[in-house]
């Protein structure tokens, strides 16, 4: 992993000093340092820094192609970075396979929902517990008592998660047969079933009705109250972001152009120009 | 040196057969994402059709057309018949199954393959047939020590001609562009107003037609044809397709020629008995190091 | 298939009833005493076992494997060679063949397991062909070239227990098929089975859900190959000869069809598929040369009218308390 | 509910098979059933078909003379082995498992005969081979295996001593196809040549095998050409022989081409094309048309009457002779027990007047005294004995 400086030139990052002492006491769960990712000639992420604090909801916003999802894919191990580090709970995630990262405690959802469509909702959620299980081939074939206990544990936990996201009634439906909104919640339930410390949501509210996004926001807030969890999310919908985020980072063209408390970001001219401007055009 | 040149020549000849068949696989796969297992047997069918045409037309050929004329006539007729059969196969056995996804298609293709193979056996009998001598030109050139039969030259020229025509169609014409577009993304292509059905019709007519041409040539070249030959040639040709990068027209051509040469040189300089083993090992190595074949370019998985 | 998957009680009853009929039919069948039909039923059993083993790879994990006969060949030749050269009893060779095939699968597949769909498909074809051709070329003079290895013993323990006639072989193979089915049902219902299905549904999502895709793909190949090795062992001792042309590409394609005709990942489906592939040609023997012709067209018809297979796997309610009940339920 | 139907269908099918198999009928005056295992389908179907016709003809002749054992007819039961070792084993099992089959005439091709003969041995069933000439088949101490055809070592020696002299060849190329029979003949020829090699009169410049069933043999042939031999002996079967002679001539191998006794066949000429085939030589047991025995006459007539022409393959005729000796032995011993028959054939049978001349077997089951001649393909595409 190398770090090339010439990429950092001309990056103006406006940081909110206020925040540091607001949550100075909070410990950092995820830290991204000078992250760089290229695809051929295109530099998708350009020496990007980020610190995600324990027990908060942090968001990354930015126009399309700003490199938000790429950051996620590097964090969750689907891509390997071309430069920089990703440090989770003090450990470097470099060279980790996605499933190892999940085992370490980062769970994610996808922008375009990726469910196991021909399996029942319950099975989908149960598969989340896979990395917490240990039964091998033999104990599964011969149904050892340990394996039976484990299966029960997995099953009950999955049922619990389904209740939590309010999909209990669909437990035996195939995932492909339930409504879009429910599929989003199911994917979140699946991610939660891995008992993560950090939940990474890629545009959770995209394609949801306002009503559904409202529920989603409420759900995430309650989640944070109930469980010792941290959430990092990419969002397009400003209302959602401003509604639930404790801390917002703005990306454009692979760089961080600003970060701070939602209200400050909201009035940050740089952001308005780089992001909201585009947003309005999109709405035309 | 002489031996090397001869092997190279044979390699190219066989290679051009493989290439012609491979084109069929490649086009169909490119657009349909279907491994058309029936293609090899369509090739065999072409070979038998050519045989029958030549037998029936012997008198006519020897008196009017002459051997070359006869050969061309046989090829053209066989190609046309094969085009018809190919499109029929698509209509009857594949079209209804597209919505069901790819695996049922594979089974259906295998079914068609078994069907064709056994219909050949029923119609022409289980014994190997042989192109009779008097309709196959046997003249040859002596260049230095190397002896080239005119037939070989014709085969090479003809297949090269066909391939370049196809290449031109695919790469230079708008229709070709349409084919390439639908190979990349069928739905989007359809949205862009490309008539997918025309494309499908075209590839299922042209692929088998080329296969049939190869079939007649093989019959002419080796004389002996058998109803099971479809499998062997089909498998080799499909290997060639993958080797070159599946769904990639120039890839199929290069893959075919390369495979033929590899086979000949492999058996010439490594081991006759293990030549196919050698071929497959090369294939596997290529795939391990270039998972998308020689000319196929890597596409990053979009998440 | 949007349907409520909860099983109604009478439905369960009927299902079990049919299972009982089937088992009794299988048990009583040999009483007919006609060796020919019993042999046919034996080969049905062999195909069932092979189908189940391929079903792990193709049906559960969705990996295209068109070289499955290669694994069986490894098993069969291991048995044949060790038995004829060193006189080791067939019964002891059964686990050996399984291990040989599984080990081979591990060695060959670990470098290529990352290939997707059709590329994996052609590589497995290549692997199968390489095995067949190598056997055909009689390396070190141990495989006997095109003539194969012959004079293989019958399975026996000492002199009191010998499997030497069609009926005994029939029971041997069907007992093994039964055990395999039991094991597979339990696997399907375990975290391993779920992991396999997740990979089949969406590899990336599976990886992102914490499933070691590579490991479970290899596991499927190893288990499948092992079972195929067992099939090879029985096949060899039944025929008393193994020769390369029994393991050619066509056979692998037939196995592929068994799984797809029956329905991906469905155990009863595999049985039906095996029945179709192995019984059909025999039942239609009167048609002589036309029968394969009919066979081909039937395959096409099948896919036109039931593309999902005859008996696709039904994903039913999963419950955790009464596991005994469960094993009986959704799959048999 | 559909699924249940399907399950029912299957179970019914299984039961149906069972019931169907119960129907076993028996005639009051049972015929003597003799099995014939041969390649009815597959690449050598032509040989199997002809063998079937010959055996049936021979049976007809016997039956018209009133059968054996006082009027019991002979019935032939066919099992197809497609000339594959595995199918051969299955066919053998099929014949063995049918209790009324007293003996079996088995098959064309040593590679198929070998496993089959072992099976017959396991189940103690008399079996007489008609087209398996590999030497060691009878050398393995098989009790129930006999053959009416000759052995490859006879042929090998014939090539070594006679043919080589005829052409005054010094540099000899031998090519086989890796299958039992062909390798056997090649090895025997090598053995036969050994004295001359030691004496330094000749040398084997090329000795290698090819893979049967392919269509391009130019590579091995090129290697062969580079050794510029005086004579080229191919010991394989006719489909390859046909391709090989064509390709050999095309790449400029001009020396005389001699085929083993599996290459002589009309199919060979068809595949090679007459212009290539004519002038090729074959080491070969005498053909029916060259046999002058009265039995040969009678048989030839009967066969011609039914099938229009006399059999072109010598093996089919050996099959007919196999039937004749079996029938004769049963008639003489009045028993259908394999042990009795084997004992009679090996020890008591003397100069039985067969179609292919007087027949007797030695203690290992080989036929005593069979002749080989050198045949040549005529310009008309016929075969006649070559006399220089």
- Whether chain D lies against chain A with 3 or more Cβ pairs closer than 8 A is no
Q: State whether B6 and D220 contact (CB < 8 Å).
A: no
Question: Which of A141, A152, A156, A176 best tests the C interface by mutation, with the highest count of C CBs <10 A?
Answer: A141
- pLDDT of D299 strictly over 70: yes
Name the band, by pLDDT with cuts 50, 70 and 90, for residue B44.
very high
Instruction: For chain B, positions 97-126, list CB contacts with chain A under 8 A.
Output: none
| pLDDT 10s digits, B200-240 | 898 999 999 999 999 999 998 888 888 888 888 988 898 89
- pLDDT of D87 strictly over 90: no
Which is nearest to D326 in space by CA: D149, D103, D130?
Answer: D103
Round to whole Å and give the CA distance between D169 and D154: 20
- pLDDT of C286 strictly over 60: no
Of all residues in chain C, the one with the smallest CA distance to A136 is: C192
Round to whole Å and give the CA distance between A85 and B198: 52
- pLDDT of B194 strictly over 80: yes
Q: Which chain C residues contact residue D19 at CB under 8 A?
A: 32
- Which run of H or E residues covers position D372? strand D372-377
Name the band, by pLDDT with cuts 50, 70 and 90, for residue B17.
very high
Whether chain B has a CB inside 8 Å of the CB on C204: the answer is yes
Q: Which chain C residues contact residue D212 at CB under 8 A?
A: 146
Q: DSSP assignment, residue D43?
A: T
Q: State whether A123 and C211 contact (CB < 8 Å).
A: no
Which is nearest to A221 in space by CA: A202, A249, A248, A240?
Answer: A240
Name the band, by pLDDT with cuts 50, 70 and 90, for residue C329.
very low
How far does CA C143 lie from the centroid of its chain? 24
Round to whole Å and give the CA distance between B270 and B197: 47
What's the maximum distance between 2 C-alpha atoms anywhere in chain A?
65
Distance from CA of B198 to the nearest CA of A (A): 32
pLDDT, mean of residues B274-282: 85
Instruction: For chain D, positions 255-274, list CB contacts with chain B under 8 A.
Output: 267, 270-274
Identify the chains in contact with D, defined as 3+ C-beta pairs within 8 A: B, C
Which is nearest to A113 in space by CA: B26, C204, D327?
Answer: C204
Q: State whether D43 and B127 contact (CB < 8 Å).
A: yes
Q: Which of C137, C245, C310 sits opposite D86 (nearest CB)?
A: C245
Q: Count Cβ–Cβ pairs < 8 Å, chain B vs chain D.
A: 75
Token pair of B153 as six digits: 């030259």
Output the pTM of the full model.
0.82
What pLDDT, on a 0 to 100 scale, did the predictor assign at position D2?
53
Whether chain A has a CB inside 8 Å of the CB on B143: the answer is no
Distance from CA of C240 to the nearest CA of B (A): 26
In three-state form (DSSP H/G/I as H, E/B as E, the rest C), the secondary structure along chain A is: CECCHHHCCCCCCEECHHHHHHCCCCCEEEEEEEEEEEECCEEEEEEEEEEEECCCEEEEECCCCCCHHHHHHHHCCCCCCCEEEEEECCEECCCCCHHHHHHHCEEECCCCCCCCCCCEHHHHHHHHHHHHCCCCHHHHHCCCHHHHHHHHHHHHHHHHHHHHCCCHHHCCCEHHHCCHHHHHHHHHHHHHCCCCCEEEEECCCCCCCHHHHHHHHHHHHHHHHHCCCEEEEECCCHHHHHHHCCEEEEEECCEEEEEECHHHHHHCHHHHHHHHHHHHHHHC
Q: State whether C293 and B106 contact (CB < 8 Å).
A: no
What pLDDT, on a 0 to 100 scale, did the predictor assign at position D22?
44
Specify the long-range contacts of residues D90-99, CB closer than 8 Å, at least 24 apart: D90/C239, D91/D37, D91/D116, D92/D37, D92/D116, D92/D119, D92/D120, D93/C39, D93/D119, D94/C36, D95/D35, D95/D37, D95/D125, D96/D120, D96/D123, D96/D125, D97/C35, D97/C36, D97/C166, D98/D33, D98/D35
Distance from CA of B222 to the nearest CA of A (A): 49
- pLDDT of C307 strictly over 90: no
Token pair of B155 as six digits: 């085969």
Its ipTM equals 0.80
- pLDDT of B265 strictly over 80: yes
Q: Which chain B residues contact residue A39 at CB under 8 A?
A: 300
High-pLDDT (> 70) share of chain C, %: 87
Contacts of D97 (CB under 8 A, 6+ apart): C35, C36, C166
Q: State whether C126 and B113 contact (CB < 8 Å).
A: no
Place of tokens 């470097």: A92
Instruction: For chain B, positions 274-303, list CB contacts with chain A under 8 A.
Output: 300, 303
Q: State whether C129 and B235 contact (CB < 8 Å).
A: yes
Check: CB of residue A207 under 8 Å from CB of residue A180: yes
Round to whole Å and give the CA distance between D357 and A228: 101
pLDDT, mean of residues D89-93: 81
Of all residues in chain D, the one with the smallest CA distance to B141 is: D250
pLDDT, mean of residues D114-143: 84
Distance from CA of C183 to the nearest CA of A (A): 5
Strands B146-149 and C156-157, bridge-based pairing? unpaired
Strands B140-143 and A247-252, bridge-based pairing? unpaired
Round to whole Å and give the CA distance between C296 and B114: 5
pLDDT, mean of residues D337-363: 87
Question: Which of D47, D219, D267 best tests the B interface by mutation, with the highest count of B CBs <10 A?
Answer: D219
Q: Which of A97, A102, A152 sits opposite C320 (nearest CB)?
A: A152
Round to whole Å and give the CA distance between D51 and D79: 12
What pLDDT, on a 0 to 100 scale, did the predictor assign at position C309?
77
Q: Count Cβ–Cβ pairs < 8 Å, chain A vs chain C.
A: 132
Check: CB of residue A230 under 8 Å from CB of residue A56: yes
High-pLDDT (> 70) share of chain D, %: 91
In order, the DSSP letters of B21-64 are: HHHHHHHHHHHH----THHHHHHHHHHHHHHHHHHHHHHHIIII
Whether chain B has a CB inside 8 Å of the CB on D227: the answer is no
Round to whole Å and give the CA distance between C37 and C283: 10
- Whether chain B lies against chain A with 3 or more Cβ pairs closer than 8 A is yes
- pLDDT of C16 strictly over 50: yes
What pLDDT, on a 0 to 100 scale, did the predictor assign at position C212?
92
Of all residues in chain A, the one with the smallest CA distance to C319 is: A155
What pLDDT, on a 0 to 100 scale, did the predictor assign at position C82?
93
- Whether chain C lies against chain B with 3 or more Cβ pairs closer than 8 A is yes
Ranges A71-85, C211-225, D63-77, D210-224, most confident: C211-225
Distance from CA of C29 to the nearest CA of A (A): 29
Distance from CA of A114 to the nearest CA of C (A): 6
Check: CB of residue D67 under 8 Å from CB of residue D332: no
* Chain D residues near any Cβ of chain C (below 8 Å): 3-4, 6-8, 10-11, 13-15, 17-22, 24, 41, 84-86, 89-90, 93-94, 97, 111, 114-115, 118-119, 122, 178-180, 211-212
* Chain C residues near any Cβ of chain A (below 8 Å): 1-2, 4-6, 183, 186-187, 189-195, 197-198, 201-202, 204-213, 219, 223, 315-321, 323, 327
Distance from CA of A68 to the nearest CA of B (A): 12
Q: Which chain D residues contact residue C29 at CB under 8 A?
A: 14-15, 17-18
Name the band, by pLDDT with cuts 50, 70 and 90, for residue D323.
very high
Q: Which chain D residues contact residue B43 at CB under 8 A?
A: none
| pLDDT 10s digits, B135-193 | 677 777 777 777 788 888 888 998 899 999 998 988 888 888 888 888 888 888 888 88
Round to whole Å and give the CA distance between D270 and D46: 13
Token pair of C126 as six digits: 């290549």
3-class DSSP state of C42: helix
Of all residues in chain A, the one with the smallest CA distance to C181 is: A141
Q: Count Cβ–Cβ pairs < 8 Å, chain A vs chain B.
A: 5
Q: Which of A131, A148, A194 sits opposite C323 (nearest CB)?
A: A148
Name the band, by pLDDT with cuts 50, 70 and 90, for residue D4.
low
Identify the chains in contact with A, defined as 3+ C-beta pairs within 8 A: B, C
Q: Which chain C residues contact residue A98 at CB under 8 A?
A: 207-208
Each residue's pLDDT expressed in tens, for chain A with a length of 284 residues = 344 444 333 344 445 444 444 445 568 888 888 888 888 778 888 888 888 888 888 988 888 778 888 888 888 888 888 888 888 888 888 888 899 999 988 999 998 889 998 888 988 999 988 888 888 888 888 888 888 888 888 888 888 888 888 888 888 888 888 888 889 999 999 999 998 999 999 888 888 888 888 888 888 888 888 888 899 988 877 777 888 888 888 888 888 888 888 888 877 777 777 665 554 444 43
Q: Which chain C residues contact residue A104 at CB under 8 A?
A: none
| pLDDT 10s digits, C63-88 | 888 899 999 999 999 999 999 888 88
Radius of gyration of chain B (CA): 19
Contacts of D178 (CB under 8 A, 6+ apart): B273, C137, C138, C145, C146, D209, D210, D211, D212
- Which run of H or E residues covers position D208? strand D203-209
Question: Which of B100, B101, B303 best tests the A interface by mutation, with the highest count of A CBs <10 A?
Answer: B303
CA-to-CA separations, A132 to A121, A154, A159, B19, C204, in angstroms, rounded: 19, 9, 16, 51, 19
Round to whole Å and give the CA distance between C305 and D299: 57
What pLDDT, on a 0 to 100 scale, did the predictor assign at position D314?
83
Q: Report the helix count and the strand count for chain D, using DSSP H and E.
A: 14, 14
Which is nearest to C196 in space by CA: A77, A140, B102?
Answer: A140
What pLDDT, on a 0 to 100 scale, did the predictor assign at position A280?
45
């Amino acid at each position: 992993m190398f770090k090339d400086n010439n990429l950092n030139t001309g990056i103006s990052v406006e940081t909110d000093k206020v925040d540091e002492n607001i949550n100075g006491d909070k410990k950092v769960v995820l830290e991204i340092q000078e992250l760089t990712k290229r695809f051929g000639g295109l530099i998708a992420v350009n020496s990007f820094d980020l610190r995600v604090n324990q027990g908060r909801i942090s968001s990354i916003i930015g126009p399309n192609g700003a490199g938000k999802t790429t950051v996620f894919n590097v964090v969750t191990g689907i891509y390997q970075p071309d430069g920089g580090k990703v440090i989770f709970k003090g450990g470097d995630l470099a060279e980790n396979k996605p499933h190892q990262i999940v085992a370490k405690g980062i769970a994610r959802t996808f922008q375009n929902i990726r469910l196991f469509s021909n399996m029942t909702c319950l099975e989908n959620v149960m598969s989340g517990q896979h990395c917490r299980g240990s039964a091998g081939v033999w104990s599964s074939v011969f149904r050892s008592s340990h394996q039976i206990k484990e299966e029960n544990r997995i099953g009950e936990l999955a049922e619990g998660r389904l209740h939590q996201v309010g999909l209990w009634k669909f437990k035996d439906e195939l995932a492909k047969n339930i409504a879009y909104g429910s599929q989003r919640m199911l994917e979140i339930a699946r991610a939660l079933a891995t008992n993560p410390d950090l939940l990474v949501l890629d545009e959770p509210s995209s394609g949801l009705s306002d009503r559904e996004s409202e529920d989603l926001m409420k759900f995430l807030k309650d989640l944070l109250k109930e469980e010792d969890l941290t959430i990092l999310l990419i969002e397009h919908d400003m209302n959602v972001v401003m509604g639930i985020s404790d801390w917002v980072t703005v990306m454009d063209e692979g760089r961080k152009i600003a970060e701070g408390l939602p209200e400050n970001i909201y009035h940050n001219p740089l952001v308005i120009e780089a992001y909201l401007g585009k947003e309005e055009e999109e709405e035309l | 040196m002489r031996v090397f040149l001869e092997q190279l020549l044979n390699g190219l000849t066989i290679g051009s057969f493989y290439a012609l068949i491979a084109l069929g696989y490649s086009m169909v796969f490119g657009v349909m994402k279907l491994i058309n297992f029936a293609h090899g047997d369509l090739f065999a069918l072409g070979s038998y059709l050519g045989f029958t045409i030549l037998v029936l037309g012997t008198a006519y050929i020897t008196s009017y057309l002459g051997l070359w004329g006869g050969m061309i006539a046989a090829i053209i007729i066989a190609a046309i018949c094969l085009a018809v059969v190919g499109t029929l196969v698509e209509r009857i056995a594949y079209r209804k199954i597209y919505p069901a996804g790819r695996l049922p298609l594979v089974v259906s293709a295998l079914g068609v393959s078994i069907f064709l193979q056994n219909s050949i056996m029923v119609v022409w009998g289980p014994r190997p047939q042989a192109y009779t001598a008097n309709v196959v030109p046997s003249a040859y050139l002596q260049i230095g020590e190397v002896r080239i039969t005119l037939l070989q030259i014709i085969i090479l020229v003809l297949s090269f001609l066909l391939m370049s025509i196809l290449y031109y169609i695919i790469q230079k014409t708008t229709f070709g562009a349409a084919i390439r577009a639908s190979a990349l993304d069928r739905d989007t292509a359809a949205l862009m107003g490309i008539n997918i059905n025309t494309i499908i019709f075209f590839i299922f007519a042209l692929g088998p037609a080329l296969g049939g041409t190869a079939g007649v040539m093989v019959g002419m070249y080796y004389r002996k044809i058998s109803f099971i030959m479809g499998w062997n040639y089909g498998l080799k040709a499909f290997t060639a397709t993958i080797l070159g990068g599946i769904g990639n027209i120039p890839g199929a051509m290069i893959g075919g020629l390369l495979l033929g040469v590899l086979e000949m040189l492999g058996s010439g300089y490594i081991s006759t008995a293990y030549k196919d083993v050698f071929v497959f090992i090369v294939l596997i190595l290529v795939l391990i190091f270039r998972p998308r074949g020689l000319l196929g370019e890597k596409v990053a998985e979009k998440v | 298939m949007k349907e409520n998957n909860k099983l109604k009680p009478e439905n369960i009853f009927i299902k079990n009833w049919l299972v009982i009929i089937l088992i009794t039919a299988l048990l009583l069948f040999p009483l007919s005493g006609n060796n020919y039909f019993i042999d046919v039923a034996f080969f049905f059993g062999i195909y069932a076992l092979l189908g189940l083993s391929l079903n792990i790879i193709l049906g559960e994990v969705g990996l295209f494997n068109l070289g499955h006969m290669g694994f069986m060949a490894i098993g069969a030749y291991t048995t044949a060679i060790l038995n004829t050269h060193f006189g080791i009893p067939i019964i002891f060779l059964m686990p050996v063949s399984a291990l040989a095939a599984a080990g081979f699968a591990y060695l060959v597949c670990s470098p290529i397991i990352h290939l997707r769909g059709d590329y994996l498909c052609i590589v497995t074809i290549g692997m199968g062909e390489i095995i067949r051709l190598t056997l055909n070329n009689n390396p070190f003079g141990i495989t006997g070239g095109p003539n194969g290895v012959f004079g293989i013993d019958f399975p026996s323990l000492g002199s009191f227990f010998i499997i030497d006639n069609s009926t005994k072989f029939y029971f041997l193979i069907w007992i093994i098929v039964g055990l395999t089915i039991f094991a597979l049902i339990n696997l399907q219902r375990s975290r391993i089975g779920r992991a396999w299905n997740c990979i089949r549904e969406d590899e990336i999502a599976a990886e992102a859900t914490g499933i070691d895709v590579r490991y479970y793909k290899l596991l499927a190949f190893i288990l499948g190959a092992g079972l195929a090795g067992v099939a090879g062992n029985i096949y060899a001792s039944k025929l008393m000869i193994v020769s390369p042309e029994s393991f050619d590409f066509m056979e692998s394609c037939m196995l592929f069809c068994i799984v797809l005709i029956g329905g991906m990942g469905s155990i009863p489906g595999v049985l039906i598929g095996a029945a179709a592939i192995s019984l059909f040609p025999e039942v239609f023997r009167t048609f002589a040369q036309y029968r394969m012709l009919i066979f081909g067209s039937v395959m096409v018809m099948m896919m036109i009218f039931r593309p999902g297979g005859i008996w696709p796997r039904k994903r039913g309610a999963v419950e955790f308390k009464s596991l005994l009940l469960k094993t009986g339920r959704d799959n048999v | 509910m559909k699924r249940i139907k399907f399950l029912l269908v299957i179970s019914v099918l299984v039961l149906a098979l069972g019931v169907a198999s119960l129907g076993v009928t028996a005639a009051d005056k049972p015929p003597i059933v003799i099995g014939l295992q041969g390649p009815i389908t597959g690449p050598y179907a032509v040989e199997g078909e002809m063998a079937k016709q010959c055996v049936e003809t021979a049976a007809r002749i016997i039956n018209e003379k009133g059968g054996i054992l006082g009027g019991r007819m002979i019935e032939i039961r066919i099992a197809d082995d497609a000339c594959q070792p595995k199918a051969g084993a299955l066919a053998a099992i099929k014949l063995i498992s049918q209790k009324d089959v007293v003996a079996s005439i088995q098959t064309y091709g040593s590679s198929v005969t070998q496993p089959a003969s072992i099976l017959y041995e396991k189940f103690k069933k008399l079996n007489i081979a008609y087209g398996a000439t590999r030497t060691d088949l009878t050398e393995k101490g098989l009790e129930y295996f006999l053959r009416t055809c000759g052995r490859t070592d006879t042929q090998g020696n014939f090539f070594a001593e006679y043919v080589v002299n005829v052409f005054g060849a010094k540099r000899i190329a031998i090519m086989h196809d890796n299958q039992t029979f062909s390798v056997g003949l090649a090895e025997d020829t090598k053995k036969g040549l050994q004295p001359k090699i030691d004496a330094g009169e000749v040398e084997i410049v090329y000795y290698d095998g090819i893979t049967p069933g392919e269509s391009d043999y130019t590579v091995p042939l090129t290697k062969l050409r580079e050794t510029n031999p005086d004579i080229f002996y191919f010991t394989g079967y006719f489909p390859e022989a046909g391709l090989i002679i064509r390709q050999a001539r095309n790449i400029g191998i001009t020396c005389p081409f001699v085929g083993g006794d599996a290459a002589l066949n009309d199919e060979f000429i068809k595949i090679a094309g007459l212009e290539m085939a004519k002038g090729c030589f074959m080491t070969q047991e005498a053909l029916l048309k060259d046999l002058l025995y009265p039995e040969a006459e009678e048989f030839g007539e009967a066969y011609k009457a039914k099938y229009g022409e006399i059999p072109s393959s010598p093996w089919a005729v050996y099959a007919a002779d196999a039937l004749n000796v079996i029938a004769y032995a049963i008639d003489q011993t009045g028993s259908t027990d394999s042990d009795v028959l084997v004992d009679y054939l090996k020890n008591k049978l003397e100069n039985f007047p067969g179609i292919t001349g007087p027949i007797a077997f030695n203690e290992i089951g080989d036929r005593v005294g069979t002749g080989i001649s050198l045949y040549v393909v005529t310009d008309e595409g016929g075969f006649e004995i070559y006399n220089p």
